[in-house]
Amino acid sequence: MEKIDEVALRAKQSLQEAGSLTDLERFYASYLAKKGEVSALLSHMKELPPQEKAAFGKEVNELKKGLSEAYEAKKSELEAEALKKKLEAERIDISLPGDSLNSGHPNPFRLIIDEVTDIFLDMGYEVYSGRDVETDLYNFELLNVPEDHPARDMQDTFYLDANRLLRTQTSAAQAHAMKERGGLTPIKMISPGKTYRRDDDDATHSHQFAQIEGLVVDKNISLANLKATLELFAKKMFGPKREIRLRSSYFPFTEPSVEVDVSCFNCGGKGCSICKGSGWIEILGAGMVNPKVLQMCGYDPEVWSGFAFGVGVERVAMLRYGIDDIRRFYTNDYRFLKEFKAK
């Protein structure tokens, strides 16, 4: 019995001192396992007189049961503690700054084209794709710019061979659209795309730039329709308070022709550096489709009339984003381009 007490005392102490699951397993191996000290106590049975055997066996079994229960309890306690420590160590600190991925985003120039396109899609226009390589016929002749016309000098051209050229204006798409419709159905389209001119590059000129052409051909189309359309466009693009003003101008393919100004979105018309003190900013060229052009492209000018306009994409983007140099659109400087990520 003394031996039992002695083992019990050591076992309890060992259990109490176990500070980790490894200590606890060591305790189990020493006392409770098959070859542990508690089972070993039973080997003393044979040394005992028969009348004491039962009491001795009972005592050992009780010790074993008590220690087993204490062991289980301690085990859950240590496991819970270990789990808590682990969670603590693996905690995610959501206040730490994240790693930002360098994802792509549209060029500012693309953003403007998309914005303008959306405005006209809302007004029921379709998008017509023109082509970069044109013939003299579509870029000039059908637009009432014959061979010897001085307007050809305004648009110094990159020729690929005697007949093919890089288009100098998206207006070439007007002629294609009209020819394709065969003079039969109304047209209400815009056509964004690249254009090319033999210009010396500087802050406001680029040999490659982009335009968005607009063309409406239907019955009873008037200058009032053109004005209303462009006014709505200017308000949606530059703000609801914007007004437009038409100034007389000249393009061979429109008659009459106008230059369209929008009231300055920066100063509201008072005069500032953006509008160069005038309160107005020129944004596009437009006019009523010249009857000669309708005729050449297959639309009877006695029946049909139309208007057309051409917006300079870079110019709008420069005004809109306060960009000072057109070359920025084409030099792919990432520091510049990334400014437009959020927009």
> Would you say 255 is a known binding-site residue?
yes
CB of 286 to ligand PHE, least distance (A): 5
User: Which residues neighbour 245 within 8 Å (Cβ) at sequence distance 6 or greater?
Assistant: 260, 261, 263, 280
Q: Which of 56, 251, 265, 304 binds ligand PHE (CB under 6 A)?
A: 251
Tokens encoding 162: 């005697």
For ligand PHE, give the closer residue by CB, 254 or 263: 254
Q: Return the closest-CA partner of residue 260 out of 303, 299, 223, 301.
A: 223
Is 318 in contact with 336 (CB distance < 8 Å)?
no
CB of 254 to ligand PHE, least distance (A): 5
Q: Which of 287, 315, 328, 337 binds ligand PHE (CB under 6 A)?
A: 287
Tokens encoding 138: 């579509």
- Report the alpha-carbon distance of residue 37 to residue 280 in Å, rounded: 101
Is 11 among the residues that bind ligand PHE (CB under 6 A)?
Answer: no
For ligand PHE, give the closer residue by CB, 11 or 260: 260
Closest residue to ligand PHE: CB criterion? 310
Is 252 among the residues that bind ligand PHE (CB under 6 A)?
Answer: no
Count of residues that bind ligand PHE according to CB under 6 A: 10
Contacts to ligand PHE from residues 158-217, by CB under 6 A: 169, 171
Residue 335, CA distances (Å) to 58, 253, 273, 326 in order: 85, 41, 25, 15
Residue 197, CA distances (Å) to 40, 58, 229, 286 in order: 103, 108, 28, 20
Is 308 in contact with 214 (CB distance < 8 Å)?
yes
Please report which helix (H) or strand (E) contains residue 216, including its range. Answer: strand 208-218
Q: Which of 36, 192, 279, 310 binds ligand PHE (CB under 6 A)?
A: 310
What's the number of CA atoms in the CB half-sphere (13 Å) around residue 342? 2
Q: Which of 144, 229, 254, 290 binds ligand PHE (CB under 6 A)?
A: 254
For ligand PHE, give the closer residue by CB, 11 or 212: 212
Of the candidate spans 89-97, 216-224, 236-244, 285-293, the one that interacts with ligand PHE by CB under 6 A turns out to be: 285-293
CB of 319 to ligand PHE, least distance (A): 17
For ligand PHE, give the closer residue by CB, 56 or 309: 309
Tokens encoding 53: 């055997």
Is 308 among the residues that bind ligand PHE (CB under 6 A)?
Answer: yes
User: Which residues neighbour 67 within 8 Å (Cβ) at sequence distance 6 or greater?
Assistant: 8, 11, 12, 15, 31, 32, 38
Residues annotated in the binding site for Mg(2+), as ranges? 255
Where along the sequence are the contacts to ligand PHE (CB under 6 A)? 169, 171, 251, 254, 285-287, 308-310
